[in-house]
Amino acid sequence: MPCLGCQLANKELPVYVVFEDEHVCCILDHDPFNEGHVMILPKQHIHDVDELNDQTSLAIMKASRLLSKALKRLFNPDGITFAQNGGIFNELSHYHMHAVPRYKEQSFADFYGDETVVIEQESALKTTQRAMQQVIHELTMDHTI
């Protein structure tokens, strides 16, 4: 059975890409904790953080810096949580890091709740994707990363 994370990272399934380079693909989470919730996935199959090579590790950190700046500019969150679940807690069986804009009154415990998965409306994801891509383009053109 093909790896779901590999399929998402390599755009073999429908995804909303906000940024990518040769090592990583950053996509909107289909069930976002908040608008702008992004997953950073390596394009190469990697299961856990201790399997990352130096190039992919650096690409993940560069993407997380870029996403942090874009999320702050676009959504003005009170903070951003970066989360990565390994081992049996890795629901994709493929390394990925979440970048989640958060606001003061939110409990992050809700992120790990067992609520029914509700797919965000496609139109909302497309709108967020366009806005994120625009801000990321501006940041990269301004050499702010």
Model confidence at 120, pLDDT cuts 50, 70, 90, reads low
Average pLDDT over residues 55-81: 97
Q: Can you read off the two tokens belonging to residue 82?
A: 């970066």
pLDDT at 2: 81
Task: Report the largest interatomic distance among the alpha carbons of the chain, rounded to a whole angstrom.
Answer: 43
Q: Is the pLDDT of residue 117 over 80?
A: no
Are the C-beta atoms of residues 40 and 97 closer than 8 Å to each other?
A: yes
Q: How much is the average pLDDT of 48-72?
A: 97
In 3-state terms, the chain is what percent helix, strand and coil (to 5)? 40, 15, 40
Report which of residues 121 and 101 the model is more confident about: 101
Percent above pLDDT 90 for the chain: 68
The pTM for the full model equals 0.87
Mean pLDDT over each residue of the chain, to the nearest integer: 89
Report whether pLDDT(11) > 80.
yes
CA 29, CA 26: separation in Å to the nearest integer? 9
Better pLDDT: 59 or 110: 59
What mean pLDDT is predicted for residues 39-53?
96
Phi, psi of 98 (to 5 degrees): -90, 140
In whole angstroms, give the CA distance from residue 68 to residue 101: 8
Say what percent of the chain tops pLDDT 70.
Answer: 89
- Predicted local confidence at residue 118, as pLDDT: 47
